Chain A
Amino acid sequence: MTTKLDEVIGLARANSLWPLPFATSCCGIEFMATMGANYDLARFGSERMGFTPRQCDMLLVAGTIAKKMAPILRQVYLQMAEPRWVIAIGACASSGGIFDSYSVLQGIDQVIPVDVYVPGCPPRPEGILDGIIKLQKIVKNESLRRRNAPQYKALLNEYGIQ
Chain B
Amino acid sequence: MDNQQLKQSLSKKFDFLSDWEEPYGLLTATLPAEKNLEVLQGLYDDDQLKFRFLTDLTAVHFPDRKDEELCVVYHLHNLQDNIRLRLKAYLPVANPAIHSAAALFSGANWMERETYDFFGVNFLNHPNLTRILNVDEMDYFPMRKEYPMEDPTRVDKDDEMFGR
- Residues in A lying within 8 Å of B, measured CB to CB: 67-68, 94-96, 100, 102-103, 105-107, 109-110
Contact = CB atoms under 8 A, between A and B. Distances in A.
B24 interface: no
A96 B164 CA distance: 12
Given A102-B134, A103-B142, A106-B157, 17 more contacts: A67-B134, A67-B135, A68-B134, A68-B135, A95-B159, A95-B162, A96-B162, A102-B138, A102-B142, A103-B133, A103-B134, A106-B156, A106-B159, A106-B162, A107-B159, A107-B162, A110-B156
A95 B156 CA distance: 10
Contact of B157 (A67, A96, A103, A109): A96
B104 to A, nearest CB: 30
A109 B133 CA distance: 23
Contacts of B161: 95
Please report whether the interface of chain A is mostly helix, strand, loop or mixed according to DSSP: loop
Interface string B9-27: 0000000000000000000
**Most A Cβ at <10 Å: residue of B134, B142, B157, B162:** B162
A100 B157 contact: yes
A107 B134 CA distance: 18
28 contacts: A67-B134, A67-B135, A68-B133, A68-B134, A68-B135, A94-B162, A95-B159, A95-B161, A95-B162, A95-B163, A96-B157, A96-B162, A100-B157, A102-B134, A102-B138, A102-B142, A103-B133, A103-B134, A103-B142, A105-B156, A106-B156, A106-B157, A106-B159, A106-B162, A107-B159, A107-B162, A109-B159, A110-B156
Interface string B124-164: 00000000011100100010000000000000110101110
A97 to B, nearest CB: 9
Nearest to B150: A100
B136 to A, nearest CB: 9
B71 to A, nearest CB: 21
A69 B134 CA distance: 10
Contacts of A102: 134, 138, 142
B151 to A, nearest CB: 9
B19 to A, nearest CB: 32
Contacts of B156: 105-106, 110
Contacts of A107: 159, 162
Contacts of B157: 96, 100, 106
4 smallest A-B Cβ distances: which pairs? Answer: A95-B162, A102-B142, A106-B157, A106-B156
Contacts of B133: 68, 103
A103 B156 CA distance: 11
